[in-house]
Structure 1
Amino acid sequence: METVEKRMSDDPLSSILVSRSQDLSITHRGRKTLLVDPESASWAVVPKEYAAVLEALRRPLPFPVMTRRLRDFSEDSLKDLLARFFQHGMVRINGEGFFDKQELWPIPDDPPYYPFSVYLHSTDACNFRCKYCYAEAEGKGKRMTFETAKDILDRLLRELPGEFLSVEFHGGEPLLIKKTIYRIVEYGFAQARKWKKQIKFRMQTNGSLLDEEFISFAKKHRMEIGVSLDGGPALHDENRIYPNGKGTFEKVWEKVKLARSMGLRVGFLGVIDSPENYVKAFEFFTSRGVFRFKLNYNSPLGRATDNFEFPESLGERYARGLLGMVDLALEFNTASPVPCWVPDVNFFVEYLQSKERRYMCMRSPCGVGRSLLAFGCRGEIYPCEEMSSTGNFQCGNIYDEDMTIPEMVDSSTVISELRSRRIEKIPKCSVCTWRRFCGGRCLNKSFHYYGTIMREDPMCSFYSTLFEELMWKMDEHSDLARLTGRP
């Protein structure tokens, strides 16, 4: 890299051959141009006349030829501009680029790493019957016993090499086995001390069964509690209902207020069933003093496939809805002393500022089987929590004792197959401008929508629209970075 930069400044100009990066995207809007290099995930919004330099490079050109063709630029200004484009990965000098692809996007699992985040699919039962439940939970259903959870924790703490373990209770509704959860948490802390490790317990609940006893327990053990809430009564009660069809908002909000009164801060996770509801949900949460919440678009999984339609064009509409919420958040943060932070918007914005890909669901390959594992009610092992409801992609059982969990992760043909899904191998993703931003997104959703993991996410247009528009917005609003939750 240093040699190429030195060549830009020291070599005779006649020896410099300039070429445009492969697949460089050039989009004009008014007097400005958005430039995106897909492979390095570099981008810039520049004056339209600067883009003319790149548009002139339909084939490699010697620098002297460029100076003759681009008479609006002096030799020095053209050289400086090319140096800036070079550092953004948008041009190559004498065939060499600024970025090393292997350093930017290293080969996954080399060296191997092992899960630090696990999900206990603690029950298939639920007291709600939400219209879009991906687990299709209802009625009584299977429930994880303390003995099964104990055996899972024993092996995780004994066999995983990491010093920290995050354990999250999912369902169904986990609080249907509240007494069992008490025992699991107490046991987990005791075993973590034995193995000189740290453990953190989390739970995602519909909130209706929160009571003083559990709230006190959660506070004592510093559990992180997420409540599923879609917004105000009209939004929430449209889909989160009891088996008799009655809405659940009143009960859930009553329990949220109880938790708050006892000093337990709960997080919120909502599902947006229609694009225009992003703004409505934002207005509800901020009006109730909630400045951090997560909103997921409705996905073609489980019960949602019977109750909703999912045309491929839906993704762009959802993106436009979320962008409307981003505009509202920018206005809100300008006026409010407490800024609002909206996951996953924070990751979307962060990915425009950094090459680091911290969010396991937006990497290629994703964190399936390596960053996380999920365990079913009978000890079944799955590479991801979303998979634990259908039985697809089971890669073992906690009672398979012929190998350790790290050995299972290393040797599992299921995990190996799933982690072979990389953007380079997915036809549409491999040539997409946004491939290094979204990472091809969710393989489980691809499997359920298309019948194969080697397809793009069914909400592909959500990400292509969103990342492009956020780039334009970031050029106009430098304070957009505040949505990452960082200073």
Structure 2
Amino acid sequence: MTDSNIKPFAVMAKPVGSRCNMRCSYCYYLDKGKYSTSAVQSRMSDNVLEQMIKQTIALSGGPVVSFTWHGGEPTLAGIEFYRKAVELERKYLPAGWQVWNNLQTNGLRISDEWCRFLKENRFDVGVSIDGSAAIHDRNRHTVNGDGTFNKVIRGIRLLKSYGIEPDLLCTVNSATAADPLGAYRALRETGCGWIQFIPIVVRRPDGTLSKQSVTGEDYGRFLCAVFDEWAKHDIGRLDVQLFAEMARIMAGGEASLCWMGRTCGRVLIAEEDGSIYSCDHFVDGEHRLGNIKTDELGSLLDSDRQLLFGNSKETGLTSECRNCPYLTYCNGGCPKDRFGKSVNGEEGQYALCTGLKAFFAHAEPIMKRIMELSSDGMKPHEIMKKL
């Protein structure tokens, strides 16, 4: 039985919790194992896996059900774990429905066996890579402190050799922000067609940002530089998630990214021990909603606690945000980064606000022109010549 009345939601599974074979200097998740109820974080049990898949499908309105496999490093769970997951998905999926699996990996363990499995079972794959080797290896290290760029590139090439086109996830940290075109062009050279930029904002106990964090101003400069390069050379052949989301909103649609939405709280985290949390950025004791082994997923998703959490994205807006001409694009940004002050001195302003404002002001008229020319039937190469 499925629930067609439930608002859209997603589950991000962490099959090995926070365990990882890398030690990225800006990682926010590595210490989350302290919240696990397991004596030692290992791998999600078959019972937890089955309950998560069964309840997610039952709660979904269909006809497509999505599962995101995240970490830590999810390939540490082993291929047999995912064979079991696919088997359970087929067991519980209603006739005529489809399942969409996405594996987010650092790319180090990608092998021929992994590629065959991912290809055969139509997994989408995201690979984390921070632009060029010089930028990437400053922060993304092995456990022994070695750089990982060459291994990640090898993994990307192997995936592509099997016909798997991975999405690229690139953090915008202080290093990438210092060389926006170097980072973007290195990503473009991989031949992949989709890039997601994720800003690194880590607040120290004293309220200052970590040295790896990007400031609002630098984030804005980064986005503007990349947007101009994309508009000049890459329309129609390379998609950047933020630019695509902006175009969707300008066309009258709703953002698909939680941080850009009016409210949030519809992406639950399923940890390896079965614990369910409010959000990937709020895996802590305060935001532990329950456990899939003892609680119904639907009751946790629509609990008063979780609804309050999600709605606070809108109710907690500062007056500066409420009166901002670009509110429809970001809706105040991600709640985890609302620790700045507004122009009126209100607490709770998005830390990257100044940068996003600068970017939206710069990109909006150009994007409007791109959309107008496209609606007139103009081809991408013709549009780029007109800009």
2:163 corresponds to which residue? 263
Q: How far apart in 2 are the matches of 1:137 and 1:209?
A: 22
- Which residue identity is paired with 1:299? V
Instruction: Confirm or deny: 8 A CA contact 2:124 2:166 kept in the other structure.
Output: yes
Instruction: Confirm or deny: 8 A CA contact 1:282 1:325 kept in the other structure.
Output: yes
- Which residue identity is paired with 2:120? K
Unaligned runs of 5+ in 1: 1-110
After superposition, what is the alpha-carbon deviation per residue over 1:285-334, rounded to whole angstroms, capped at 9, x for unaligned?
A: 2233233222222222699x8852658xx212211121111111122137
- Which residue identity is paired with 2:199? Y
Equivalent residue runs for 1:44-443 within 5 Å = 113-123=6-16, 124-136=18-30, 141-193=41-93, 197-274=97-174, 275-300=177-202, 307-308=210-211, 314-333=215-234, 339-354=237-252, 356-366=254-264, 368-369=265-266, 372-388=267-283, 390-401=284-295, 404-422=296-314, 425-443=317-335
Instruction: Give 3-state SS (helix, strand or coil) of 1:344's partner.
Output: helix
Instruction: Confirm or deny: 8 A CA contact 1:173 1:206 kept in the other structure.
Output: yes
Instruction: Confirm or deny: 8 A CA contact 1:165 1:200 kept in the other structure.
Output: yes
After superposition, what is the alpha-carbon deviation per residue over 1:97-118, rounded to whole angstroms, capped at 9, x for unaligned?
A: xxxxxxxxxxxxxx96334421
Worse overlay, 469-478 or 211-220 = 469-478
CA drift at 1:479: 7.5
Instruction: Give 3-state SS (helix, strand or coil) of 1:113's partner.
Output: coil
After superposition, what is the alpha-carbon deviation per residue over 1:218-242, rounded to whole angstroms, capped at 9, x for unaligned?
A: 1010001111011121111111101
Instruction: Confirm or deny: 8 A CA contact 1:129 1:137 kept in the other structure.
Output: no
CA drift at 1:137: 5.7
CA drift at 1:373: 1.7
Instruction: Confirm or deny: 8 A CA contact 1:294 1:344 kept in the other structure.
Output: yes
Instruction: Give 3-state SS (helix, strand or coil) of 2:103's partner.
Output: strand
In structure 2, the CA distance between the partners of 1:149 and 1:115, relative to structure 1 (3 Å rule), is farther
CA drift at 1:391: 4.0
State TM-score, norm by structure 2. Answer: 0.81
Instruction: Give 3-state SS (helix, strand or coil) of 2:287's partner.
Output: coil
Q: How far apart in 2 are the matches of 1:481 and 1:243?
A: 47
- Which residue identity is paired with 1:148? V
In structure 2, the CA distance between the partners of 1:459 and 1:152, relative to structure 1 (3 Å rule), is same
Instruction: Give 3-state SS (helix, strand or coil) of 2:168's partner.
Output: strand
- Which residue identity is paired with 1:327? D
Instruction: Confirm or deny: 8 A CA contact 2:221 2:359 kept in the other structure.
Output: yes
CA drift at 1:355: 5.2
> How many residues of Structure 1 are paired with residues of Structure 2 in the alignment?
358
Instruction: Give 3-state SS (helix, strand or coil) of 1:225's partner.
Output: strand
Matched-pair identity in %: 25
In structure 2, the CA distance between the partners of 1:153 and 1:130, relative to structure 1 (3 Å rule), is same
In structure 2, the CA distance between the partners of 1:133 and 1:477, relative to structure 1 (3 Å rule), is same
CA drift at 1:421: 3.0
Q: How far apart in 1 are the matches of 2:92 and 2:229?
A: 44
State TM-score, norm by structure 1. Answer: 0.66
After superposition, what is the alpha-carbon deviation per residue over 1:438-477, rounded to whole angstroms, capped at 9, x for unaligned?
A: 1111113337x79xxx823221112211111112434676
Instruction: Give 3-state SS (helix, strand or coil) of 1:413's partner.
Output: helix
CA drift at 1:194: 5.2
- Which residue identity is paired with 1:410? D
- Which residue identity is paired with 1:330? A
Q: How far apart in 1 are the matches of 2:374 and 2:204?
A: 35
Instruction: Confirm or deny: 8 A CA contact 1:133 1:302 kept in the other structure.
Output: no
Q: How far apart in 2 are the matches of 1:476 and 1:135?
A: 40
Instruction: Give 3-state SS (helix, strand or coil) of 1:246's partner.
Output: coil
Q: How far apart in 2 are the matches of 1:461 and 1:476?
A: 24
- Which residue identity is paired with 1:359? L
CA drift at 1:353: 3.7
Q: How far apart in 2 are the matches of 1:165 and 1:475?
A: 33
Q: How far apart in 1 are the matches of 2:355 and 2:166?
A: 28
2:354 corresponds to which residue? 461
Q: How far apart in 2 are the matches of 1:218 and 1:459?
A: 36
